[in-house]
Structure 1
């Protein structure tokens, strides 16, 4: 099955296997949703969640404009 898939992609078997393993590793890392913080970092994180930045005036002005496609 692996050889056939590699052939379909125009790759050597070793290239196919390494590419597939790399993509799986990236997906695994990017899918990580659990992270651990020490007590100080956890408190800072909670403070940031409790007091998000206010939108800049430029953003407010852009959001208030009529979009080009809505005219």
Structure 2
């Protein structure tokens, strides 16, 4: 059963930051309509999940692995959206 956020115990996490980092975080949080705490928790949670997922190991049998590699090595099918994206000049160029 998932913990109810309104009744779940919370703990304090103290950070020491440079004033310019605090201001940068505050500006970004305000832009997104969040508190600094919400902004930092969301960013920290996302970074933690990414770090853990980057190290996830998938065990598959030899047949499934061979099919996976075959699909990776296969040329992509013609795709109008991809062709258009690759021939359109980037806005920053």
Q: What TM-score do the two structures reach when normalised by structure 1?
A: 0.45
Structure with the greater relative contact order (CA < 8 A, sep ≥ 6): 1 or 2? Answer: 1
Structure with greater helix percent: 1
Q: What TM-score do the two structures reach when normalised by structure 2?
A: 0.38
Higher Rg of the two aligned structures: 1
